[in-house]
Chains A and B, each alone.
Chain A
Amino acid sequence: MKVKVRLFGFLAEEAGKREISVEAETAGDALEAAKSVISIPRSVRIAVNEEYAPSKRALRSGDVVSLIPPVAGG
């Protein structure tokens, strides 16, 4: 299934884009597929539709995956 993957922080900076499209069935698949575009450290977390989600989370049509680098707000 084709899935939109949003990039943030240094991931977006290094990829030179804020969004890519990958083939994936789970959230973890999407992260792995994004590695063809950008190096992704293990500290990066995954969100699906604006909520943190585990790698094994099955994706449904229209889901948006976001790759969340270590946060530094506050």
Chain B
Amino acid sequence: MKLYEYQAKKIFKDNSISVPNGTVCSTEKETGDAFASVGKGQEVILKSQVLVGGRGKSGGIRSAQTVAEAVDIFKELMDTHIKGFPVAKVLIEEKAEIRNEYYVGITIDPTFYRPILLISSRGGMEVETIARESPSALGQYILNPRYGIPSHEILRLIGELGISKGLSMPLTDVVKKLYKIFCNYDATLIEINPLVESSDGRLIALDARLNIDNNALFKHPELEELKKDFVDNKETYLKEKGVDFVYVGGNVGLICAGAGMTMATMDLVNAMGGKPACFCDVSAGINPQSMELALRTVSSLDGIQSILLNMFGGLTRMDEVATSFIAAWQNMGGISLPAVIRLEGTNVEEGRRIMKENGFEMFTNLYDAVQKAVDLVR
């Protein structure tokens, strides 16, 4: 679960990490009030609250000099999608005087499976870009979770990166607090980018990213509260109903079971000349409801010309898949798109019988099925 910037900043603030003065706004009225209270009549920054990176370059961060301008920009931002993601709210913040920008983040190292601390003397750009373009400006420390992050290791990184000695204490302090949040909130990623040194020498989290492990949400009922502020998001809604869905934008609508199989099918559709419309994995639980939800979602995508149901069952039983598919199909009164079905694995013969009884041809060979689905879009 990714938190919005303003939600992450609330948690940062609760843990004594400085953030700019700001107010999150959902209405024009709130925006007007915020201009007065946050900006004290001076310039303010308006930031789209959206769950995707790189919003600055996409025009999601703007500044306003007057109330009228602030309200206009608010309306504009709320109406925009950023990289396809809807804007939930707009965070209005005071304009910070920036002397220097840094990057600090903690995530899980993919090689040692221990927390890894990343610090950079160049904030404000994506850490991937820093790593690629100026690796010497990025310091890393993989830590023993038993002992947390020793201060002297943080100091070593600060020294190696040539960051001003005057920042050693406050930066060490911020890192220790971030690690505490990382552990307490079961985070997979916590990041401040940029962490700015203000003109009066304080360190302020100008942005805030906090991703929580979905598997650990049951330990954090306090985060459930935050969900009510999430804007309607098709992916999140579907995920909660057992359908793992990502829109990609092609003409062959996929419904598969298993992440690997879904990706392999997408690759195969591509390779055989089609364009997959989506990643859609229903393996979390196959029943008439989830199948109908998947069918409705996929069949309503723009530009879709065929539907491909592809599963190889182990835990998933093919007779249940067939029954669910038929029930969903019938409940929807049929769909006007051609559906190609490929089932293999546990109880496949029973699945074939059910499909046949209901008038569906069924493949067992994956390649024949993908070929058929791609042929249908030509």
Does chain A bind chain B?
no
Chain B interfacial positions (CB closer than 8 Å to A): none
Give residues in A with beta carbon < 8 Å to B: none
